[in-house]
Each structure stands twice: as C-alpha cells, then as structure tokens.
Structure 1
Amino acid sequence: MYLEHVNLVVSNVDTMLHFYKAAFPHWRVRSQGDSKWSGKPRKWLHFGDDYQYLALSDNGEAENRDLAGHQVGLAHFAYVTNDINAVVERLVSAGYEIDKHGPENPYRKNVYFIDPAGFEVEFVEYFSDIPSERNNDL
C-alpha cells in the first residue's frame, strides 16, 4: 500500500504549480479541467508522475491554518529524495526560501518549505536503510 495523491484546495493553482514544478521537475500535469464543487466553479489539475500526484483545485477561501498554532488540520506532508541539496537548490533558484531545517541527525537531513498556499512541505534524504536509524530522535 502507498499514498497515491493528496488533494489540496488552494486560492491559485498556477502559483502552486510553479512551486511544485521546481521541486519535482520530472512530474507533469496529468490531467486538468474546470468543474463545480459544491456549487462553486473551480479549476483543477493533477500534477505528478504515473504513480503519485497532487490534486490541486483553486477558488479556495480564507487562509491556511496557522502552522505555529494548534488548530486542527494538516501540519505538513513530506517527500523522500535521494538528493536533498538539489531539491533545495531548485526551490531557492525559483524564489522560495527555506522555512526551517530539521535537527542535526547522522542518518537523515530534512528541510521545510512553505508552499504558496501556506502548506508546510518537508523534504528528507535518508543516509541509512536501517529503520531504527532512519526513524531515531537524536
């Protein structure tokens, strides 16, 4: 079993696409269109590869939850990479700033960005295949 997609409601699909194209240059727009959702028009698209994707829908209302707060909602989601430095370089070159670095750990390196809709996205590179090392809390 694996996670196939995450569906995010945002205010602007195009700004989100800019961020995620920088993070995942090998992904593509798999499908897109216009529809109504609960009586409200929306633009939607699926951005990913043949196995995973982000479903993005625009016309969202209000701001995302305060990431420093304790409101119910999505805290963050994470992607594993085999070259975290390349991901960071692409995102910074595209105009995005690192929000925070993960703690020092000999078995992994992680970094967090805030996407244009205010979702926190973690990117992590593991330096061990041993689960007890990868998942430690040093």
Structure 2
Amino acid sequence: MLKGFEHVGMTVSNIDKSLNFYVDLLGLKLTVRRRGQDDSGFEFCFLDAGNGMLEIMGPATGALQAEDVAAGRSGLRHLTFCFDDIDTLYRRLEEAGVELVEAPREAYNRDIVDKVAFCRDPDGILIELCER
C-alpha cells in the first residue's frame, strides 16, 4: 500500500550553490549531507520540503547545466514548491540575483493552486513557486 511520496533525486554542479538556493532562499531543511563512500569524490544531501524530500548529488567533477525538456519528449519539466506568499519570495529571489522566468500570476489550474511564479535554480532547472 502506498504511504506517500518520498523523494526526487537530481544531479547538481555545485552542492554549496544548490544549498544556498534550496535551503537559504527557498527554506528547505538540510537533513543529511555526506560524501560518497567510494573514491569518486561525490557528495549528496537530502533536503526536507515538508511533504517530500529532494536529494541533490554533486559529482566531484561538476555537471553541465540542465536543459529544458523539449516538446514531445518525456522527462521532468519542473519542480514545484508551495509557499504562503510567493510575491514576497519572488522579490527576495530577485534581490538575490536568481534567474527569474515568470512573475507571480493567477494559476491556470485554480482548482489546485491560486498563484504561480517561475525561476531557475543555479543549474538552470525550472522551479515553480505556488501559493494555495
């Protein structure tokens, strides 16, 4: 029987930059930070998003920027996090120099959320900010 959503894992180019974005700016909680047990030099972290976790893994060699999923191609399009006030958060992200994609607006799927906005994380992954 399903108990719930556990986590999404993704590769990042720089753990510290990603922690700054996800923990310091978005407010996820760092629960685990470790180095791999082999000699590859990778590091991984688990970040608590309240109702699921985000696992970020940084290879010692870094990683290329993410690419958006092309129309007609399978893949993850974005990660969505829910907040009390995305207008205030959006201004904070702007002040921090985060790449902004779309300012807060009324959601198309109003039966689920009220407002949405979009930005990119340090690796170019599209992040949706929503407000219920």
TM-score by length of 1: 0.72
Q: Which runs of 5+ in 2 are unaligned?
A: none
Tell me how far 1:28 sits from its aligned partner. 2.8
Q: Deviations over 1:22-63 (max 9, x none)?
A: 011xx33211111157x7330111122675332111025333
Change (3 A) 1:113 1:50: closer
Q: Which runs of 4+ in 1 moved over 4 A?
A: none
Paired with 2:85 and 2:6, the residues of 1 have a C-alpha distance of: 22
Q: Residue by residue, what CA displacement relative to the aligned partner does 1:72-106 show, whole Å, maximum 9, x if unpaired?
A: 43210211222112321332222213212476459
TM-score normalised over the length of structure 2 = 0.74
Mapped to 2, the partners of 1:76 and 1:116 lie a distance apart of 14
- In the alignment, which of 98, 101, 113 is matched to residue 99 of structure 1? 101
Give identity over the alignment, percent.
Answer: 24
Q: Is the 8 A contact 1:45 1:57 kept in 2?
A: yes
Give 2:124's match in structure 1, choosing from 114, 118, 134: 118
The question of whether the paired residues in 2 share the 8 Å contact of 1:23 and 1:90 is answered with no
Which residue number corresponds to residue 34 of structure 1?
35
Quick one: which of 25, 29, 47 aligns to 1:22?
A: 25
Q: How many residues align?
A: 122
Distance 1:112 1:50 in 2: 20
Q: 2:58 corresponds to which residue?
A: 58
Asked whether the equivalents of residues 64 and 118 of structure 1 are also in contact (C-alpha less than 8 Å), the reply is: yes
Stretches of structure 1 that go unaligned for 5 or more consecutive residues are 127-138
